């Protein structure tokens, strides 16, 4: 397998909206069957977004940081999983949170992703809950 490179950058919602939508709809709506009206919650214009792009500039992953310190909408196209795209997106969002002086970052993790977030220092809190038909658990990272 040839190693393919990618880059991660800050996205700007008005200009990058379609690229971000492409990744999220493919992962959440098509793969995971999240209803379109739940995926598009109206908060994107308030969020900081990161986008991962392949060497040709095609979108391959995304994540967002809400103004209250919640990380969400982490998504990587299936063919790019296992290549540290998600890890690098998460690290970038955490760094952006630190730049904004958040001492705590929060997220709602799908159960199968809990170990992914634990590796970045997040701890699960509370019980399992349903979000869009998918079991989740809240997780918290605290700057020590």
Q: Provide the pLDDT for residue 3.
A: 55
| Distances from the Cα of 33 to the Cα of 20, 29, 36, 109, angstroms | 17, 5, 9, 16
- The model's pLDDT over 85-113, given as tens digits with 9 standing for 90+, comes to 999 999 999 999 999 999 999 999 999 99
Per-domain residue ranges for the chain? 6-102
Alpha carbon 118 to chain centroid distance?
Answer: 15
CATH superfamily of 6-102: Gcn5-related N-acetyltransferase (GNAT) (3.40.630.30)
Structure token digits, residue 106: 């929060």
Bridge-based pairing of strands 104-110 and 134-142 is antiparallel
Q: Provide the pLDDT for residue 2.
A: 45
Over 90: is that where the pLDDT of 17 sits?
yes
- The model's pLDDT over 108-125, given as tens digits with 9 standing for 90+, comes to 999 999 999 999 999 999
């Amino acid at each position: 397998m040839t190693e393919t490179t990618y880059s991660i950058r800050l996205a700007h919602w008005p200009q990058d909206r379609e690229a971000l939508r492409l990744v999220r709809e493919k992962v959440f709506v098509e793969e995971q069957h999240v209803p379109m009206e739940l995926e598009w919650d109206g908060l994107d214009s308030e969020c900081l977004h990161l986008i991962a792009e392949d060497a040709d500039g095609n979108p391959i992953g995304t994540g967002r940081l809400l103004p209250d310190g919640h990380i969400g909408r982490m998504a990587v196209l299936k063919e790019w999983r296992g290549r540290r795209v998600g890890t690098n997106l998460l690290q970038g969002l955490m760094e952006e949170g630190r730049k904004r002086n958040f001492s705590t970052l929060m997220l709602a993790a799908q159960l199968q992703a809990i170990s992914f977030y634990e590796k970045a220092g997040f701890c699960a809190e509370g019980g399992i809950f349903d979000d869009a038909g998918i079991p989740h658990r809240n997780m918290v990272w605290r700057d020590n």
